[in-house]
Amino acid sequence: MKKYFMILCFLTIFSPAHAVLLGQHQIVRSDVFGTVTGGSDSLRIYLAVSEVVPFNSFDPSTAWVFGGNTSALNDPFNLVVRETDVGSTFTTNALEPGFAEVATMLTDGELDSIISMIGVPDFVGGSGRPYDETEIFNGDPGFSGVDLFGNILNSISITINSVTIDPGEYLVTPMSYNIDYTIRFEGTSVPEPSGLFLIGIGLLGISFIRRINAT
């Protein structure tokens, strides 16, 4: 019996948990900014999560994934892309400040807003729209009916599929852009207690049979 108990403990503690794709969402956007942004050859991608649904302003609960809430180019949350970044993937995870708060909101089983916007470096704000979590995750592997409840979120990444920028000229012609990018959410499933219970019952059953045969 002791041997089977040790096997159960081993399976419980050391069962491999491989990161898998929990959800993804592709965004295609184009816009024209004012002439004050003319001359810029780069875009700034914002991604944030808010407890407010529908989202209509930057409320205090907003947690930033990419973009930050300042225009400083050295802001650690900044994600600035250029036409040369096509095919590149930018990833944030638990090592980055604020990620834990975002991961909690995306896996707590409560409906939140996911805000995706495009802006210009050195300017606060941008164009885009909020999505509620069901719009982002519906049909994805980790979707539970509201969000990624029942999973552990390990990382969020943005892959630039395509981007074209017409920089324009400062105060003369506006800047315009077209961008296509995919947001991916990767993590692991929380172990199901029922699964571990079934393993335990099976091991106990084997032990019981062996005891009967021994007598």
Counting Cβ atoms within 10 Å, is residue 204 exposed (0-12), middle (13-18) or buried (19+)? middle
Tokens coding 174: 């506006």
Tell me the per-residue pLDDT of 72-125, one tens digit each, with 9 for 90 and over.
Answer: 444 445 789 999 999 999 998 888 877 888 999 999 999 998 988 898 887 777
Q: Where are the domains of the chain?
A: 18-190
pLDDT at 38: 82
Counting Cβ atoms within 10 Å, is residue 61 exposed (0-12), middle (13-18) or buried (19+)? middle
pLDDT surpassing 70 at residue 211: no
Q: Which of 2, 26, 15, 20 is nearest to 136 (CA)?
A: 26
The pTM assigned to this predicted structure is 0.78
